Homo-oligomer: A and B are copies of this chain.
Amino acid sequence: MTNLEDFFFSVDTENNDATPAVRAALAAARAGGERRLVFPKARYDFWPDRAFEQYWFISNNDEGLKRIVFPLEGLEDFEIDGQGSEFVFHGYVLPFTLRGCKEITLKNFSIDWARTFHSEAVVLAAREGSIDIEIPEQFPYKIPHDRLVFTGEGDITYDISNMLEFDTNKRETAFGVFDNFAVHDWHTAEEIGPRQVRVHAKFSTLPTPGNTMAIMDGGRLCPTITIERSQGVTVQNVTLYHSGGMGIIAQHSSDLRVENLTVTTPPESGRMISLTADATHFVNCAGEIVLENCVFENQMDDATNVHGIYGQISAIVSPTEIEFALVHPQQLGIDIFAAGDPIEFVRNTTLETFHENTVARVDRVNKQFTRLTLESPLPTDLSLKDAVANLRWIPNLTARGCRSRGNRARGFLVTTGGKALIENNHFHIAGAAILIEGDANYWFESGKVRDVTIRGNHFENCNYGVWGTATIEVNPGVAEPYRAQSLYHHSIRVENNTFDDFHGRLLAAHCVDGLTFTGNVMRPSGAYPKRSAGGELLEITHCANVDIRDNDLSTS
């Protein structure tokens, strides 16, 4: 066992920075074949200054040359045990990266930043074209040349990409509000009192005085736990109070267990927002993904998203060679194929698979383009914009006993062809609690589902925000003219769930073959005003083999 306190060298005292101690401890543990690094229970501060440096492409986050405090690479059978410690980070630094690791456990610590990447303010007044806000001292700012800029430690400044209104009392996004992305392109600001600022901008919806504006820097530069090409990773009894990006992001990894992960705001911090993006996110993973007894609260994006990546065909080089592009800017640089991988070809219109093959050779051109040589000849009706996906990296997903609430956007995004079980969870989500999507034109997230079970969950008044049209939404990116030709998703069972509901939109689904909705109970709540969108309780279009029975759906 390696104990961090054996590594407090002189250089560590600057800023009370534990980063060099971690570096030395990891090196010593590796050299000595140790299996555990333990932290005496305490607060540890980590600065980027002496951190390890490496360029990372991290799906759905921002690529870049990163500073990393715990860079785990090629480690096997290793455990980091915080023993209840608080890990406090400073500035642009990634807490954990895992690459090429096997059987790693991270447990018993919390992660926060001394200065959050986002800021918050209380709404004092609002009128067409401007709002007045009061900014707590923990979010320092300046107004150079009439523009509101938040400041951090050292000379860090944070831009404003979005302002989003939260209901201060309910601690959730305010009812029916939209993101205010326009404030990024243009706003002016003026000081109107002590820490009181008037912001002139185009606001999508005028906020209510007393509510809280989450003021987001657009960057996703510093996710907390990044996992790449690793197998057997367990995150256990970890609390994530903040991140500059996602909480846990895994790519091309398998057998990932997340147990008793709590994503929330620090007690008595006065903060509304926890993480600045998704709590967890799994891209082109495999094996078993398990989320058990987790809490996902007040992060600025989805609770989880499990999906693959579609590449878009950009050139047909020969009867056995294509070039494809990664299109979504936050997917660039991810090597989605290796030689020997099974590959499917889908139309970008219907998303239907029209060809399968095997990758013989991969030549990466750069982070955007890759050339593939296939083992068998390609069909002659292959078109530019058709999409390719990897059939090897398809995980099973179990999400059980988790509580999700108060965040922006959606709950669980389930886009995987493996066996997915969403069981005994509690959702109070602004958008869709469960979204099954997949598209090859905008997000390029692949994953035709084949076996999804949603059972025994409690959906408590979901869809009070704008991110979705029903509590459970099965909405692959097939445009209306092509829906009649597409049965993209397969075998989705929604069983024995309870819906506390105020707006009569439990399920919206299209392009599904095999949809069962049985044993579910709806309890009208009147908790919020009915959303104006309207629509049916169960909106099912372009589906086959639909089985709806034995539900108790008495309307309010």
Contact = CB atoms under 8 A, between A and B. Distances in A.
Contacts of A170: none
Interface in A444-476: none
Contacts of A144: 185-186
Interface stretch (A31-39, A102-110, A248-256, A365-373): A365-373
A46 to B, nearest CB: 14
A315 interface: yes
A323 interface: yes
A479 interface: no
Nearest to A9: B317
Given A145-B185, A186-B145, A315 B11 contact: yes
Contact of A367 (B11, B53, B315): B53
A323 B53 contact: no
A10 B67 CA distance: 41
Interface residues of A, number: 25
Interface string A8-51: 01110010000000000000000000000000000000000111
Contact of A366 (B53, B366, B367, B368): B53
A442 interface: no
Interface in A138-168: 144-145
A356 B101 CA distance: 43
Interface in A313-351: 315, 317, 323
Interface in A354-371: 365-369
B50 A55 contact: no
Contacts of A63: 65
Given A49-B368, A366-B52, A369-B49, A10 B317 contact: yes
B55 A55 contact: yes
Contact of A11 (B186, B317, B368): B317
Given A145-B186, A185-B144, A366 B317 contact: no
Nearest to A54: B366
A51 B317 contact: no
Given A11-B315, A317-B11, A367 B65 contact: yes
A365 B51 CA distance: 7
Contacts of A65: 55, 63, 367
A49 B366 CA distance: 8
Interface string A75-110: 000000000000000000000000000000000000
A319 to B, nearest CB: 13
A50 B11 contact: no
B366 A11 contact: no
Contacts of A10: 315, 317
A520 to B, nearest CB: 47
B369 A50 contact: yes
Interface string A51-65: 111010000000101
Contacts of A9: 317
Contacts of A53: 366-367
Contacts of A317: 9-11
Interface string A172-214: 0000000000000110000000000000000000000000000
A32 to B, nearest CB: 19
Given A365-B50, A366-B50, A11 B323 contact: yes
Interface string A293-330: 00000000000000000000001010000010000000
A14 B9 CA distance: 57
Q: Which 9 A-B pairs have the closest CB atoms?
A: A53-B366, A145-B186, A11-B315, A50-B365, A55-B55, A53-B367, A50-B369, A145-B185, A51-B366
13 contacts: A10-B315, A11-B315, A14-B315, A49-B368, A49-B369, A50-B365, A50-B366, A51-B366, A52-B366, A55-B65, A63-B65, A65-B367, A145-B185
Interface of A: 9-11, 14, 49-53, 55, 63, 65, 67, 144-145, 185-186, 315, 317, 323, 365-369
Given A10-B315, A11-B317, 18 more contacts: A10-B317, A11-B315, A11-B323, A14-B315, A49-B369, A50-B365, A50-B369, A51-B366, A52-B366, A53-B366, A53-B367, A55-B55, A55-B65, A63-B65, A144-B185, A144-B186, A145-B185, A145-B186
